[in-house]
Amino acid sequence: MPASTGRAERVERAGGTEPAAAPSETDMRQLENDRRALIELCLYAIDRARSGGVAGRLEEGLAGVGVTAVRPDGARFDPGVHEAGGTVPTVDPMLDGVIAETEVAGFVDGETVLRVPVVTVYTVDGSAAR
């Protein structure tokens, strides 16, 4: 079965060409539920992929439908949008509270947060500065 282009398509009938019927509200709800289930399955697979190439391909596919990965490395930690998974000491006070690395990527679907990123945060280690 050919993939849909998202535009109204013409269907060849014995009597001529007719426009395809617009999907019903029930069909649209089912499509949205199916999309949501596929996104959840892809996130599950990304978390368990043993190959970086496979995980990357899944991320590319998700990005193609509007679901993007969030890796806030170098940004200031914000507990409202990040989950701290751990800390790493630093002697540089400018790095205090900055995200050192992303442990688990977050994902957003347009404006909807599907999962917040789990990050490691720099914290000033007073004992190392002495």
**Per-domain boundaries in the chain:** 26-124
- Are 67 and 87 within 8 A, CB to CB? no
At 3 the pLDDT is 52
User: What rounded mean pLDDT belongs to the chain?
Assistant: 88
At 7 the pLDDT is 52
- 122: β partners: 88
CA dist., res. 7 & res. 22, Å (int): 10
Question: Which is nearest to 52 in space by CA: 101, 105, 88?
Answer: 105
pTM: 0.75
CATH architecture of 26-124: Roll (2.30)
pLDDT by residue (tens digit) across 17-75? 677 788 899 999 999 999 999 999 999 999 999 999 999 999 999 999 999 999 999 99
State both tokens at 112: 């909807």
Which has the higher per-residue pLDDT, 126 or 5? 126
At 129 the pLDDT is 45
